Amino acid sequence: MRGNAFEAKVKADGGTELMRLLSERLSGQSPPPASGEVLVPDLSAAGPEGRTARTALALREATEARAWALLDHPLLALEVAGSPAYLEPDAVVVRPDGRWTVVEIKSFPMIDGSADAAKVGAAARQAAVYVLALERVALHTAGAEVADRVLLVCPKDFSNLPAASVVDVRKQLSVTRRQLARLTRIEDIAAGLPEGTTFDLGHCSGEELTAAVESVAAAYAPECLSACELAFHCRHRARAEGAVETLGRGVRGELGGLTTVGAVLAAAHGGAGDPADPTVSALRRAAALRAEALAAAGASGAPADGAVDGSGPAVSAIGSANEAVTCR
């Protein structure tokens, strides 16, 4: 694949090209190190613990040696909800002044100096997690400091030549720190599950697995669809419950204490809810205005300013266009 070939190209020759990009973007005037000057430690070891230990050692050694070093696919550990999660950045560069910089190599292009904002945002969030994990290692390393600006390397324009840009991840760092601190510990979640619950695919049937998954509370939102493999399952459940979040996270905020589709519509159409509640009264007004506008348009097609233009009923025309739906 193009992505892997590009990453290999960026790191080739002991990282000469990568170091040049890094110096150009981050070191001001100082020249990049000569190719022999950069240590490229071997990070291979058995198992994730072994590899994280090896990475930490290499970081420490390079920092003590006040040398340039390129760590290719180091392995870092970060505690998430009480359990270790292993993370593998594309590269980490150690500079002689003890500064560690996360490098992310992506295959989306940087055209005329800018790349797709959504993709850059995702890369920044990802890199922030690496920075957090690195900070834990730096804590135990004298003279080390983790940069809160990371280097993003992408193909330049339409070529496979690298282009780099510096991304400030301070905001993503504070968001991630907050989220990590708020997470419920896995042990606490497990403690609330029925005795004997297992997610082990090898040791339970499909039904048992479904039951196990359902026993864990989920907070589905449409964003899950692009991030989590359980999304269709959770969506199905949330829809069955009539949860308003299925329509978007923002929707919940608009609707105050009303959490289900049925409750909102009942309140809006006067069947339930306290009219003194500002959410309920706003909903009723919205529903009345909507119904009035639809009725007006259906009856005369008159635009709002009263300039009747004789156009036919707008809304009812739709159902009659009974074209074949292609995706059937």
Partner 1 sequence: MSLISTLARLEAVESGRARPLATVRHRRISDEPLVLVPLTTAGEAGAPLGALVGTDRDAPRLLTVAQPRDRDLRFAFLGELAEAVLPYLDTYAEVIEPAERNETDPETGKRVKVEVELCVDAPQLIVPSRPGIDFVRLLGRSMRFRRTAEDDPDTPYPAPPRVPLLGRWLTHYGERARVPGSSLLLAATDLLNRHWATGQSSLEDQHLGALLAWIDPPEGVSGAEAALRAELDRDRGGQLRCPPAGPATDPAFDNRLLAPAIEGYDRARQALAAAEDGPGAEEQLARLSAAERDIRELLAGVMRPTWDAVWHGLDLLRALPEGERVADRWTRDRWSFTGHRDRVRAGEPPQPRLDDAVTAAQKLASRETAQAQLEAQEALDDPLVFAGRRLSGEAFLSEVTEVVMAYSESKRPSPRPLVTVRTDDRPHLEAGTKVFRSLDGKPQSAEFVRSSAEDADDNDADGVLVLRLTDRMGRGKEPAPGSVPEKGDRIAWTLFEHDQRGGPKLPDPEETPWTHGGPPGADDATPPHARAEAHAPDPVTEEDFL
Q: Which of residues 61-120 bind partner 1 (CB under 8 A)?
A: 107-109, 111-113, 116
Could you tell me which stretch among 70-78, 105-113, 164-172, 230-238 binds ligand SF4 (CB under 6 A)? 230-238
Compare residues 46 and 304 and give the one whose CB is closer to partner 1: 304
Among 53, 80, 122, 251, binds partner 1 (CB under 8 A): 251
Is 256 a binding residue for partner 1 by CB under 8 A? The answer is no
State the number of binding residues for partner 1 (CB under 8 A). Answer: 72
Cα separation, 138 vs 150, in Å, equals: 16
Among 81, 231, 282, 287, binds ligand SF4 (CB under 6 A): 231
Is 14 a binding residue for partner 1 by CB under 8 A? The answer is no
- The interface partner of residue 186, options being ligand SF4, partner 1, none and the CB cut-off 5 to 8 Å by kind, is none
Closest contact distance (angstroms) between CB of 279 and partner 1 is: 9
- Sign of the C-alpha dihedral computed for residues 228, 234, 239 and 244 taken in this order: negative
Closest contact distance (angstroms) between CB of 81 and ligand SF4 is: 13
Instruction: Considering only residues 180 through 219, tell me which ones interact with ligand SF4, judged by CB under 6 A.
Output: 218-219
Binding-residue pattern over the window 233 to 262 for ligand SF4, x denoting contact by CB under 6 A: -x----------------------------
Q: What is the 3-state secondary structure (H, E, C) of the chain?
A: CHHHHHHHHHHHHHHHHHHHHHHHHHCCCCCCCCHHHEECCCCCCCHHHHHHHHHHHHHHHHHHCCCEEEEECCCEEEEECCEEEEECCCEEEECCCCEEEEEEECCCCEECCECCHHHHHHHHHHHHHHHHHHHHHHCCCCCCEECCEEEEEEEECCCCCEEEEEEECHHHHHHHHHHHHHCCCHHHHHHCCCCCCCCCHHHCCHHHHHHHHHCCCCCCCHHHHHCCCCHHHHHHHHHHHCEHHHHCHHHHHHCCCCCEHHHHHHHHCCCCCCCCCHHHHHHHHHHHHHHHHHHHHHHHCCCCCCCCCCCCCCCCHHHHCCCCCCCC
Among 26, 123, 151, 255, binds partner 1 (CB under 8 A): 255
Is 323 a binding residue for partner 1 by CB under 8 A? The answer is yes
**114 strand-pairing partners:** 111
Could you tell me which stretch among 26-34, 70-78, 123-131, 318-326 binds partner 1 (CB under 8 A)? 318-326
Instruction: Considering only residues 202 through 231, tell me which ones interact with partner 1, judged by CB under 8 A.
Output: 222-223, 225-226
- The interface partner of residue 33, options being partner 1, ligand SF4, none and the CB cut-off 5 to 8 Å by kind, is none
Compare residues 62 and 115 and give the one whose CB is closer to partner 1: 115
CA 257 to mean position of chain CA atoms:
28
Among 6, 100, 130, 220, binds ligand SF4 (CB under 6 A): 220
- The interface partner of residue 157, options being ligand SF4, partner 1, none and the CB cut-off 5 to 8 Å by kind, is partner 1
Cα separation, 260 vs 255, in Å, equals: 10
Instruction: Considering only residues 262 through 301, tell me which ones interact with partner 1, judged by CB under 8 A.
Output: 262, 264-265, 268, 282-283, 285-287, 289-290, 292-294, 296-298, 301
Closest contact distance (angstroms) between CB of 70 and ligand SF4 is: 35
Compare residues 206 and 310 and give the one whose CB is closer to partner 1: 310
Compare residues 137 and 234 and give the one whose CB is closer to ligand SF4: 234
CB 70 within 8 A of CB 91: yes
Binding residues for ligand SF4 (CB under 6 A): 218-220, 224, 228, 230-231, 234
